[in-house]
Amino acid sequence: MDFFALFDLAVLDGTVRLATPLLLACLAGLFSERAGIFDIGLEGKMLAAAFLSGAIAATTGNAWLGLLAGIAASLVLSVIHGLASITFRGNQLISGVAINFFAAGLTVVVAQSWFQQGGRTPSLSEGGRFNPITWIGADGNGFYSEVVSGHSILVYGALLCVPLTWWVLYRTRYGLRLRAVGENPASVDTAGVSVIGLRYSAVVICGVLCGIAGAYLATALQAGFVKDMTAGRGYIALAALIFAKWRPWYALGATTLFGYLQALSLRPDILERAIGVKVQVQLLDALPYILTVVILAGFVGKAIPPRAGGEPYVKER
């Protein structure tokens, strides 16, 4: 048994890289759900963004253009979700389900017709990817060089989003209104602020963050888009959001944990060395989901969602 093997630098490095898309998607969900719009379509939005960013980065050779394209793809789906759940007061869960399928199908259909490579985009060249940034003095081994340094700009950007989200939510007028509209939209409406406007703005922010998360998958974590490359990350982010009780700093904690589990499942040998027992990979794969169920069951503190979540706003006296 070697407990410290759990802190293997390669695993920690993997944690940072794998937690980043989860963190971005989780914060995306946070904005949407804090405004009272449930979003189980995070997965679909990330997937659409991953595809379009991969496709544009491959054709232009420019990662930044890829990023913008990814955000645009995600935004289109966000607006559809907004139309369904805000304007037409439809069922937000069903809309999310539809968006996930839509992205899962369309990305492959378009990828096949565009690149004829069996539903994937060509591998990205050097300029088409976000490359690791090596920090000053990070040329040796050790925590600083291997874990802190050596990630793409998107990773550091995602981390910055955590304090930024906190600040927006709790220190600005917009954040106050956003939280209010998710708790009691009538309070916002009678105060003369547009419920629809606020909710659309939240859905748009959600789209932008999901877009970055998807673009990260195709242009930073990997070099191109492959079919179904989100692999349930949108759902894990959703789980992390519940785990985090819809709070930004907790979201960082939850996504880091889930990212760590993912990193560990890539290295079963390390886990075996650490705890002395062989753990099935499938168990590690399922662990985030099992943890979420345990959390939802209320065995680890109660998660209370925003009170108006999932309910379309209808004016009443």
Q: Where in 155-174 is the site for other proteins (CB under 8 A)?
A: 170-174
Q: Are 22 and 259 in contact (CB under 8 A)?
A: yes
Q: What are phi and psi of 66, to 5 degrees?
A: -60, -45
d(CA 107, CA 44): 10
By the rule CB under 8 A, 278 interacts with other proteins: no
Minimum Å gap between C-beta 292 and other proteins is 5
Max intra-chain CA distance, the chain: 67
> Rule CB under 8 A: is residue 311 a binding residue for other proteins?
no
282 binds other proteins (CB under 8 A): yes
Which of 186, 266, 275, 279 binds other proteins (CB under 8 A)? It is 186
Q: Does 272 bind other proteins (CB under 8 A)?
A: no
Q: Which of 78, 152, 165, 292 binds other proteins (CB under 8 A)?
A: 292
Tokens of 89: 């007061």
Among residues 51 and 130, whose Cβ is nearest to other proteins?
Answer: 51
Partner residues linked to 299 by β-bridges? 301
Q: Which residue reads 């081994």 in tokens?
A: 141
Please report whether residue 92 would count as binding other proteins according to CB under 8 A: yes
CB 46 within 8 A of CB 233: yes
Distance of closest approach, residue 262 Cβ to other proteins, in angstroms: 13
**Residue among 9 and 283 whose Cβ is closer to other proteins:** 283
Query: Contact with other proteins (CB under 8 A): which of 7, 9, 10, 88?
Result: 88
C-alpha span between 179 and 237 (Å, rounded): 20
Which span (2-10, 16-24, 268-276, 296-304) binds other proteins, by CB under 8 A?
296-304
Q: What is the DSSP letter of 2?
A: -
Pick between residue 108 and residue 124 the one whose CB is nearest to other proteins: 108
CA separation for the pair 215, 208 (Å, rounded): 10
Tell me if 220 contacts other proteins by CB under 8 A: no
Should residue 238 be labelled a site residue for other proteins when binding is judged by CB under 8 A? yes
DSSP 309: T
User: In this complex, which beta carbon is closest to other proteins, that of residue 69 or of residue 220?
Assistant: 69
Applying the rule CB under 8 A, the residues between 113 and 132 that interact with other proteins are 113-114, 116, 119
Output 277 or 297, the one with its CB closest to other proteins.
297
Indicate which single residue of 68, 72, 76, 110 sits in contact with other proteins (rule: CB under 8 A): 110
Residue 286 in the binding site for other proteins (CB under 8 A): yes
Contacts of 257 (CB under 8 A, 6+ apart): 240, 243
> Cβ of 132: how many Cβ atoms within 10 Å?
14
Distance separating alpha carbons of residues 223 and 98, to the nearest angstrom: 28
Interface with other proteins (CB under 8 A), residue from 89, 125, 133, 134: 89
Token pair listed for 215: 């673009």
Q: Which residues contact 79 (CB under 8 A, 6 or more apart)?
A: 203, 204, 207
Footprint (CB under 8 A) of other proteins, residues 20-59: 40
Q: Closest separation between CB of residue 126 and other proteins, Å?
A: 30
In this structure, are residues 188 and 271 in contact, taking their beta carbons and an 8 Å threshold? no
- 290 binding other proteins? (CB under 8 A): yes
